Copies of this chain bind each other. A is one copy, B any other.
Amino acid sequence: MVKNKIFIGVIGGGDCSDEVYKLAEQVGERIAKAGAVLVCGGLGGVMEAACKGAKKEDGTTIGILPGIDKSQANSYIDFPILTGLGEGRNLLVIRNSDVVIALPGEYGTLSEIGFCLKLGKPIIGLFTWDVSEAIIKAKNAEEAVKIALSKVNKDGG
């Protein structure tokens, strides 16, 4: 059952450098290989890259969109979820993730990190906002996904 799969959130900038794009793609690939579902905000940059990576490995991607128009979703989203909540959808991204991997991003990403820490969900940081010791730092995509999986299992996600 899909429902029993682990849902891993990937958060990060809607715009990003080529380097970060590549990193996000690797994160997506690893998530799909692990059989987990990728949850994100559905737009460009880190979100698009992660979904692209996941689809390479035949993974499943959910994009929780700010608006009410599916065409907002990046090309690698399987399930665009329309919210019409604007930035308020950031909280829904976190609520729908058993564990979160945070890449570099701007202030929207910061709000998501805030919510993630507030809700006490495990969060793995890949060169992202360094705002709390509760963010577990990883060195690369492989390690980030490995820690994410271990956290869900250990902490009961």
A residues near B (Cβ < 8 Å) are 1-3, 62, 64, 68, 70, 73, 77-88, 90-92, 95-96, 106-115, 117-119, 129, 131-132
What are 14 A-B interface contacts by the 8 Å CB criterion?
Answer: A2-B78, A3-B80, A81-B81, A84-B91, A86-B91, A87-B91, A88-B88, A107-B117, A108-B118, A109-B114, A110-B117, A111-B111, A114-B114, A131-B131
Contact present for A114 and B117 (CB under 8 Å): no
Contact A132 B107, CB 8 Å, known A3-B80, A68-B95, A91-B88:
yes
Number of copies: 4
Given the known inter-chain contacts A111-B114, A111-B115, A131-B110, please indicate yes or no for A82 contacting B87, CB distance below 8 A: no
Are A119's CB and B87's CB within 8 A? yes
In the complex, residue of chain B having the shortest beta-carbon distance to the beta carbon of A109: B114
Which residues of chain B have C-beta atoms less than 8 A from A129's C-beta?
131
Q: Is the CB of A96 within 8 A of B114?
A: no
Q: Tell me whether A1 and B84 are in contact (CB under 8 A).
A: no
Across the interface, which residues of B come within 8 angstroms of A64, CB to CB?
A: 81
- In the complex, residue of chain B having the shortest beta-carbon distance to the beta carbon of A88: B91
The smallest C-beta distance from A79 to any residue of chain B, in angstroms, reads 6
User: A131–B84 Cα gap in the complex (Å)?
Assistant: 26
Residue of B nearest to A116 (CB): B107
How far, in angstroms, from A81 to B81 measured CA to CA in the complex? 9
Q: In the complex, which residues of chain B have a beta carbon less than 8 angstroms from the beta carbon of A112?
A: 111, 114
Query: Which of B73, B79, B83, B90 meets A92, CB within 8 Å?
Result: B83
